[in-house]
Amino acid sequence: KTEYDTEHFLNLPCVDASGLFCLFTAGAVLYRIPLTWGQNKLPWKLLHAALMLLALVLSIVGLCAVFDFHNAQKTPNLYSIHSWIGIAATALFAMQWVAGMAGFLLPCSPISLRKRLKPMHVWLGGSILTLSIAACISGINEKLFFVLKGINMTQPYSALPPEALLGNSLGVLIVAFGLVVLKILSTREWQRPDSRPEDMAYTPLLQEENE
Amino acid sequence: KTEYDTEHFLNLPCVDASGLFCLFTAGAVLYRIPLTWGQNKLPWKLLHAALMLLALVLSIVGLCAVFDFHNAQKTPNLYSIHSWIGIAATALFAMQWVAGMAGFLLPCSPISLRKRLKPMHVWLGGSILTLSIAACISGINEKLFFVLKGINMTQPYSALPPEALLGNSLGVLIVAFGLVVLKILSTREWQRPDSRPEDMAYTPLLQEENE
């Protein structure tokens, strides 16, 4: 039972975190696809909100699995810096989703609010991604040290058995992928043309569907 | 001797990492200080290079302390994802410093190369900062788990003794400070006016000292 639980714990958050990472990054770079630029923005905003909601649900499922595992093992929760960073990332993500929904999708939200909100939304999104990278790396690191102790005929982390190589490779992929996404988000030429700051100055009309 | 070594190991990289983090971030936001905008850029470039060189030396001193500690304890080096991220950050930092020196300070480097190099230099700088945040968080996390095992009448990490609170607080500060610096770097209005992309288009003259 304990062995099953340990394997289950090792696998579920890994698959869950990878899936949510893919959904989050796909949602983040959605507006940077030139194919979508000529079209009405509203369907893409709904897809962005849907991908992010799915990623948020997956991160809450992952957190529940961690709390269940700790409680079953009588381990305290939320004391390590890994857990602080992870819980901060998830809380900010939930706040960001609610604020984004209210600010950018509710028809009653005024255009002036949307303009002020947008740079903060993009920055907070990048910050949540950075927090997630730090939480993933510290989580993979501590899990591999906990599981691969080199006792009971198992290899220690330092011998780099297959689980260690898999975990380390997942960490390298998450970091590399995250840095590419942060680059895509910060490059102005890759922003949707009607959302670039310099073009905003030339379109003072109320184009609510393009905000 | 071992107790001294452990304390020494806990303190030196912490102080070292905090110092290098401050130097790196100070160097990174140097060009964003409006006070410096009216002046010749060259002295500020030299100060940027000097602060970064000092930060690079401190990170190499920190790495040497880690290798010495591992070798003294007969612990293998460079197998954990924490060490992979940390060594990648330091290697990229060293490459970035050499490339920045050659590209932006050597008088023979042509202006066209400087223009192409600059967005990559800014992005790689932000990426090195992101890698450092992930390395710091995973390092603080693993060190506190290693040291605070709750044996020999010491408190475990989960009881949050003073060392744990200090380490966690340092981690929170590093993350918060790092995110603010990434925001400062990515805000175009805070760039040196003669370096903003839209102004570059209006100054096609060879202003080598301003690149």
> What is the token pair recorded at A52?
């992010």
| pLDDT tens sequence across B45-86 | 999 999 999 999 999 999 998 999 899 999 999 999 999 999
Interchain CB distance below 8 Å, B137 and A142 = no
- Write phi, then psi, for B149 (nearest 5 degrees): -90, -10
Show Cβ contacts of residue B207 under 8 Å, excluding neighbours closer than 6 positions: B194
* Residue appearing with tokens 């480097």: B109
Show Cβ contacts of residue A196 under 8 Å, excluding neighbours closer than 6 positions: A188
pLDDT (average), residues A165-185: 95
Which one of B82, B141, B175 has the shortest CB-CB distance to A80? B141
pLDDT for the residue numbered A206: 45
Count of CB pairs separated by less than 8 Å, A with B: 121
Interchain CB distance below 8 Å, A137 and B140 = no
Mark which residues 87-126 of B lie under 8 Å from A by CB: 119, 123, 126
- Interface test mutation site (partner A, options B21, B70, B71, B80, max chain A beta carbons within 10 A): B80
Mark which residues 186-205 of B lie under 8 Å from A by CB: 186-188, 197-198
CATH class of this structure's domain B2-194: mainly alpha
Interchain CB distance below 8 Å, A80 and B134 = no
| pLDDT tens sequence across B22-50 | 999 999 999 999 989 988 999 999 999 99
B85 to chain A, any CB pair closer than 8 A? The answer is: yes
Distance from CA of B15 to the nearest CA of A (A): 18
Buried b (16+ CB within 10 A) or exposed e, B175-189: beebbebbbebbeee
A76 to chain B, any CB pair closer than 8 A? The answer is: yes
> Would you list the domain boundaries of chain A?
2-141+170-193
The fold for domain A2-141+170-193 equals: Four Helix Bundle (Hemerythrin (Met), subunit A) (1.20.120)
Q: How many residues does chain A have?
A: 211
Distance from CA of A35 to the nearest CA of B (A): 25
Alpha helix (H) residue ranges in chain A: 2-29, 42-72, 81-100, 111-147, 162-186, 197-200
| pLDDT tens sequence across B136-172 | 999 999 999 998 988 888 899 999 999 899 999 999 9
The one-character DSSP state at B170 is H
- Cβ burial of B129 (10 Å; 0-12, 13-18, 19+) is buried
B141 to chain A, any CB pair closer than 8 A? The answer is: yes
| Closest CA in chain A for residue B86 | A137
| pLDDT tens sequence across A93-151 | 999 999 999 999 999 999 999 999 999 999 999 999 999 999 999 999 999 999 898 88
Interchain CB distance below 8 Å, B81 and A160 = no
Interchain CB distance below 8 Å, A127 and B172 = no
**Percentages (nearest 5) of helix, strand, coil residues in chain A:** 80, 0, 20
B79 to chain A, any CB pair closer than 8 A? The answer is: yes
Could you write out the DSSP letters of every residue in B68-131?
HHHHHTT---S-SHHHHHHHHHHHHHHHHHHHHIIIIISTTS-HHHHHHHHHHHHHHHHHHHHH
In B, which residues are within 8 Å of A127 by CB distance? 179, 182-183
pLDDT for the residue numbered B197: 62
Task: Check whether A199 has a pLDDT greater than 60.
Answer: no
Show Cβ contacts of residue B116 under 8 Å, excluding neighbours closer than 6 positions: none
Interchain CB distance below 8 Å, B80 and A144 = yes
Name residue B156's beta-bridge partners. B149
| Closest CA in chain B for residue A79 | B158
Answer for the pair A168, B81: CB distance below 8 angstroms, yes or no: yes
> What is the token pair recorded at B1?
């001797």
A135 to chain B, any CB pair closer than 8 A? The answer is: yes
